[in-house]
């Protein structure tokens, strides 16, 4: 068997939960499967890295010439077991089972029995709002009617035709919205937040031309879910956090009104909570963030929700990132560093599931946490993981700010001998990425001057001058995004006031939270 198929069997078995593995073994034993199949299952399960030579040595009853067929058969058998195992928990699998039964009955000319099976399938499809499967059900219903069963009732025929039209309209809406979403996500993953007027004009023009016309009140669950998803991604992309927050709340409220959909669409529920917390973080809604995070942590307590390895990786990512965001909001970097040290092993464990985009975000947040704790050596260590990354076309914005933070960290470490080199390297990188705004220019010039200035008074003047320059940028639409990535103002104030950056941010955080208390009262 080709190498990828061997790896596929290994990955499939490793993805199984304990209960799934037990079910597979019992299922295969019950139906008297070849003992060699069970031996191969156990051998792959026991190894941390797939090695056919070792498997054959440990299981001499398995002959090398048999292995290829055994692997293919075992893979198919596991998939069959998983279909059976998840049948009662997954409505889509149940619907497809009824559809398969209906097709068999139809082919045998048992049309009334076929219609009964289709009725059961349609009931589940309506409950789960699965439009694609509803269309398959309707297609088979039309085939039955074409055989003269039920076509004596014109209303029945008209009902099927109306339903087909309605489902097609809904499917077209969802396809249109999902196409928009894929395009927006592609832009965001590549560049991050919109950073220039022409980019914003391009995005707005695309949205206006692509969005379908509809009345939200008449949309189905899935249509609303896709609509809210598009709006959240779009408004986050253009840094309109208030509107993103509005649609993220609608997203989560949709699931609150339809809790039966959570086990069916757990991924989308988790993403909704994550997007809501992203907005709460950007808008400094600390207490709301804490409440939403508690809701996310309790997801495994929801009846019928089962967390596979992918969902576990997703939860690890979102829970950890928002735990870190809590520390960023309050300036509790020392506590945040303690969290980082606890999750490093888990990060290595899930890194293959997180993907490059999420991994880069993790590295940058960890680096910022260490910087806030004044551990600049560790900040540089994590920043280098980003700077040395080959895929610089992924989240160009983080790559840019990682280099700037790396420069400042080297300054803090007293590595003045390499700062000039890094300034030139960063300048070239920013020019290549078309990301050299006033924010970046001011900082690069500031760091260049620091290597010349010597006295404390001159250093203080440099810090004060840069702070004044940067404060003029905070309200500029395409410059203010820079302050999302790194709170350089607080760092400058820590230098001016001769205290730690953690103390400065904590003092600001206390004031913000106190103001929120006053407003809420």
Mean of the per-residue pLDDT values of the chain = 85
Q: Which of 245, 274, 306 is the last residue of a domain?
A: 306
Query: Is residue 121 in a domain?
Result: no
Which residue range forms the structural domain that includes residue 244? 169-306
Whether the predicted pLDDT of 359 surpasses 90: no
Q: Which of 85, 111, 129 is the last residue of a domain?
A: 85
Share of the chain above pLDDT 70, in %: 89
Q: What is the DSSP string of 372-429?
A: HTT-HHHHHHHHHHHHT-S-TTSSHHHHHHHHHHHHHHHHHTT-HHHHHHHHHHHHHH
Task: Provide the 10 A C-beta neighbour count for residue 125.
Answer: 26
78 and 179 assigned to the same domain: no
Query: Is residue 484 in a domain?
Result: no
180 and 300 assigned to the same domain: yes
174 and 284 assigned to the same domain: yes
pLDDT tens-digit readout, 410-460: 888 888 788 778 888 887 877 776 666 787 788 778 877 765 556 777 778
- Of residues 324 and 2, more confidence is placed in 324
Residue 375 and residue 338 in contact, taking contact as beta carbons nearer than 8 Å: no
DSSP type of residue 300: G
Whether the predicted pLDDT of 521 surpasses 50: no
Residue 77 and residue 40 in contact, taking contact as beta carbons nearer than 8 Å: no
Average pLDDT over residues 78-86: 90
The answer to which of 210-214, 251-255, 327-331 has the lowest mean pLDDT is 210-214
Q: How many domains does the chain have?
A: 2
The answer to which of 2-11, 199-208, 500-509 has the lowest mean pLDDT is 2-11
Query: Is residue 374 in a domain?
Result: no
The answer to which of 151-155, 332-336, 497-501 has the lowest mean pLDDT is 151-155
Query: Is residue 514 in a domain?
Result: no
CATH code, domain carrying 232: 1.25.40
Q: Which helix (H) or strand (E) holds 265?
A: none
What is the predicted pLDDT for the residue at 38?
87
What is the predicted pLDDT for the residue at 76?
92
Query: Is residue 410 in a domain?
Result: no
- Give, in degrees to the nearest 5, the angle at Cα 180 between 177 and 182: 110
Query: Is residue 325 in a domain?
Result: no
d(CA 70, CA 66): 6
Q: Which of 275, 306, 337 is the last residue of a domain?
A: 306
Question: Residue 164 is encoded by which pair of tokens?
Answer: 């087909």
Query: Is residue 33 in a domain?
Result: yes
What is the predicted pLDDT for the residue at 133?
93
Whether the predicted pLDDT of 12 surpasses 80: yes
178 and 66 assigned to the same domain: no
| Structure confidence at residue 32 as a pLDDT band (50, 70, 90) | low
| Structure confidence at residue 372 as a pLDDT band (50, 70, 90) | very high
Nearest to 430 by CA among 406, 414, 466: 406
Whether the predicted pLDDT of 229 surpasses 90: yes
Share of the chain above pLDDT 90, in %: 33
- Give, in degrees to the nearest 5, the angle at Cα 268 between 259 and 19: 80
CA dihedral 484, 486, 489, 490 (to 10 degrees): 110
What is the predicted pLDDT for the residue at 384?
92
Average pLDDT over residues 329-344: 88
Nearest to 275 by CA among 313, 308, 302, 243: 243
Average pLDDT over residues 242-251: 97
What is the predicted pLDDT for the residue at 394?
56
Query: Is residue 14 in a domain?
Result: yes
What is the predicted pLDDT for the residue at 393?
57
Average pLDDT over residues 38-44: 89
| Per-position b or e across 34-45, b if 16+ CB within 10 A of its CB | eebbebbbbbbe
For residue 354, the Cα-to-chain-centroid distance in whole angstroms is: 8
Whether the predicted pLDDT of 389 surpasses 50: yes
């Amino acid at each position: 068997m080709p190498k990828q198929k061997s790896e596929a069997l290994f990955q499939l078995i490793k993805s199984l939960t304990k209960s799934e593995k037990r079910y597979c073994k019992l299922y295969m034993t019950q139906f008297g499967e070849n003992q060699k199949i069970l031996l191969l299952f156990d051998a792959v399960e026991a190894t941390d890295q797939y090695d056919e030579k070792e498997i054959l040595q440990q299981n001499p009853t398995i002959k090398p010439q048999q292995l290829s067929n055994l692997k293919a058969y075992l893979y198919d058998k596991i998939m069959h077991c998983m279909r059976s195992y998840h049948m009662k928990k997954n409505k889509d699998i149940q619907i497809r089972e009824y559809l398969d039964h209906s097709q068999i009955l139809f082919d045998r000319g048992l049309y009334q029995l076929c219609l009964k099976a289709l009725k059961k399938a349609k009931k589940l499809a309506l409950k789960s709002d699965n439009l694609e499967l509803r269309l398959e059900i309707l297609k088979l219903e039309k085939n039955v009617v074409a055989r003269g069963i039920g076509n004596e009732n014109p209303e029945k025929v008209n009902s099927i035709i109306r339903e087909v039209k309605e489902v097609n309209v809904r499917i077209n809406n969802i396809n249109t919205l999902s196409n928009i979403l894929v395009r927006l996500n592609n832009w965001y993953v590549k560049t991050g937040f919109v950073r220039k007027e022409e980019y914003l004009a391009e995005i707005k023009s695309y949205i206006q031309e692509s969005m379908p016309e509809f009345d939200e009140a008449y949309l189905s669950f899935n249509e609303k879910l896709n609509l809210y998803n598009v709006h959240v991604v779009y408004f986050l992309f253009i840094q309109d956090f208030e509107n993103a927050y509005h649609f993220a709340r609608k997203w989560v409220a949709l699931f609150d009104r339809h809790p039966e959909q959570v086990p069916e669409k757990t991924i989308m529920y988790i993403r909704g909570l994550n997007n809501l917390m992203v907005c709460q973080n950007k808008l400094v809604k600390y207490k709301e963030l804490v409440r939403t995070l508690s809701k996310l942590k309790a997801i495994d307590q929801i009846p019928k929700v089962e967390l596979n390895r992918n969902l576990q990786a997703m939860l690890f990512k979102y829970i950890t990132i928002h735990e870190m965001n809590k520390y960023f909001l309050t300036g509790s970097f020392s506590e945040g560093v303690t969290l980082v040290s606890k999750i490093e092993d888990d990060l290595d464990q899930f890194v293959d599931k997180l993907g490059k985009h999420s991994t880069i975000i993790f590295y940058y947040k960890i680096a910022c946490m260490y910087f806030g704790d004044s551990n600049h050596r560790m900040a540089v260590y994590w920043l280098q993981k980003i700077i040395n990354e080959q895929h610089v076309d992924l989240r160009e914005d983080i790559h840019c700010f990682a280099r700037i933070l790396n420069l400042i960290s080297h300054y803090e470490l007293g590595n003045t001998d390499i700062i000039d080199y890094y300034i030139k390297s960063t300048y070239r990188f920013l020019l290549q990425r078309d990301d050299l705004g006033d924010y970046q220019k001011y900082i690069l010039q500031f760091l260049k001057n620091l290597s010349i200035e010597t006295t404390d008074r001159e250093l203080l003047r440099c810090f004060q001058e840069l702070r004044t320059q940067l404060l003029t940028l905070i309200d500029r639409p395409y410059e203010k995004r820079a302050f999302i990535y790194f709170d350089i103002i607080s760092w400058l104030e820590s230098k001016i006031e001769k205290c730690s950056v953690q103390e400065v941010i904590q003092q600001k955080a206390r004031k913000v939270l106190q103001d929120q208390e006053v407003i809420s009262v």
